[in-house]
Amino acid sequence: MRITFHTMAEVQAKILILPIFENSEINAYTAKLNANCNNLLTTAMGSSNNFKGQKGQFLDVYLPSEINGVERIILLGMGMRTDFDLARARDIGGKLALQCNNNKIEKAAVIIENLELENISDSEVAINIAFGAKLRNYGFYKYYAIKQEEHQLYLKSLSFGLAHDATNVQDTFLSRFEKIADAVHLSRNLTSEPPNVLTPKAFADIALELQQYGVKVTILSESEMKSLGMHALLGVAQGSINAPYIAIMEWKGNTNNNEFSTAFVGKGVTFDTGGINLKPTSGISDMKTDMTGAAVVTSLIKALATRKAKVNVIGAIGLVENMPSGSAQRPSDVVRTMSGQTVEVDNTDAEGRLVLADVLWYVQTQYRPNIVIDLATLTGAISVALGDITAGLFSNSDTLALQLSKASEKSGEKIWRLPMGKEYDKQIDSDIADIKNVGSGRGAGSITAAQFLKRFIHDNVAWAHLDIAGVSWVKNSSDLSPKGATGFGVRLLEQFIWDYVEKN
């Protein structure tokens, strides 16, 4: 979808969208348009029992004759002016895109004029409505053969008319927000791909495509991982005919510094059967999404590279398939990690932490970042605790946790910090190895998983773990995403980079 910003005088569209706040007078532009069409807008508002200007409400008004090229006006409810913020602007943008697609509207213009919001400019409102519309204008339809017409996006162009010069607004949107939205869509695409298509090798090849944006990509093969002693990751992969890979993506946008300040690590289990601890039939098809952490990391690096972020960051993803077979890892196997620590594999379905253990250690050893953040669809327990609205945050750094929480508030991707502590470590002590990969008993499953990962973090590294199992794939649509893959994490981590890494 093409999004543009103009002065109001430059806007040309047959369909105009006019924002209306709840219980507020119409603005000057709308009043003038209303007068030109014999008060048709106020008449329609007065005769409607439903339209009150509440958030996300729409009222369609067809003009009896074309006025200045306009054939149709859509009144867009903005809710109460006193409650308005940029998160609502994004949500309204998402609702707008959905409304346009449902009504087969291909092109429309939104007029943003003198909204008179406290501490929020018209430009910020326009950008965030556009951002929300771009995020929501998405569908994964590539595998439909005979149902293409039933599943398509109609909205192709959305323009915004402002009361002032829009050049800077256009530049801001194109240089940052459009790049973020494109990255979110990439993450959703990757997560939605079927596992017979998105194998570890296919995913590694997609990571290599980032080289066109100036990203240096290195792929570690199975033999290289063996040489490095990554037997935790290799153990997960040994039951599959599809070989494992690790993709390392380096973005160097700060030419004044050669060091990498921050590393992002993603779990990339392209399909998770549970291994010998086979999952039940119910829900197993959703396990194609067990690579979402890797999808988010790959997409984040693309976002940073395409918007030329002035930071040096690493993205690392461990790509494996967890399958049962005669060669598969067994419950009670003991493996040695790259760190030298040994792990008793008490449950082959707790495989993601084994993959992350070796990738985390490699990244810290090779690049010495100050900050490491990993993302993983790691535990079902996090869904029980937080549902599909909020991701779990675990960290060894109060500063990093606070920064991520503030980035969460700005981006709208919700996280909640959960406790960690030595008391939980007792649950993952093994009788025959340094550590076991699941905790004793059913309690605190997400916490013991985080405690496991923490054992592979260097003492001087600020680390955060995001358990995104509940939020990465949802059964119901939201204002910004259709049902299915959400791309959760891209906006959050881009905001973190923008506020706390890039500005330093």
Supply the residues annotated as catalytic: 279, 353
Dihedral (CA of 296, 299, 303, 305) sign: positive
Q: How far apart are the first and last CA of the chain?
A: 34
Q: Residue 251 phi/psi, 5° resolution?
A: -110, 120
> How would you class 454 by CB atoms within 10 Å of its CB: exposed for 0-12, middle for 13-18, buried for 19 or more?
middle
Give the number of other CB atoms < 10 A from CB of residue 265. 29
Strand order in the sheet with 333-336: 333-336, 342-345, 435-436
> How would you class 110 by CB atoms within 10 Å of its CB: exposed for 0-12, middle for 13-18, buried for 19 or more?
buried
Q: Which amino acid is at 305?
A: A
Contacts of 297 (CB under 8 A, 6+ apart): 249, 264, 265, 266, 315, 316, 317, 375
**Which residue is it, tokens 């993506």?**
249
Contacts of 422 (CB under 8 A, 6+ apart): none
Tokens of 358: 């070796």
Contact 484, 295 (CB under 8 A): no
Distances (CA, A) of 267 to 290, 356, 481: 7, 6, 22
Distances (CA, A) of 162 to 27, 105, 138, 156: 13, 21, 26, 20
Contact 351, 322 (CB under 8 A): yes
Return d(Cα 133, Cα 439) in angstroms, integer: 43
Kindly report the CA angle at 479 between 391 and 395, in degrees rounded to 5?
15
**Which residue is it, tokens 């940029």?**
86
Give the number of other CB atoms < 10 A from CB of residue 115. 20
**Helices marked H in 444-489 — which ranges?**
445-454
Give the number of other CB atoms < 10 A from CB of residue 432. 9
**Which residue is it, tokens 């990465």?**
472
Q: Which amino acid is at 498?
A: W
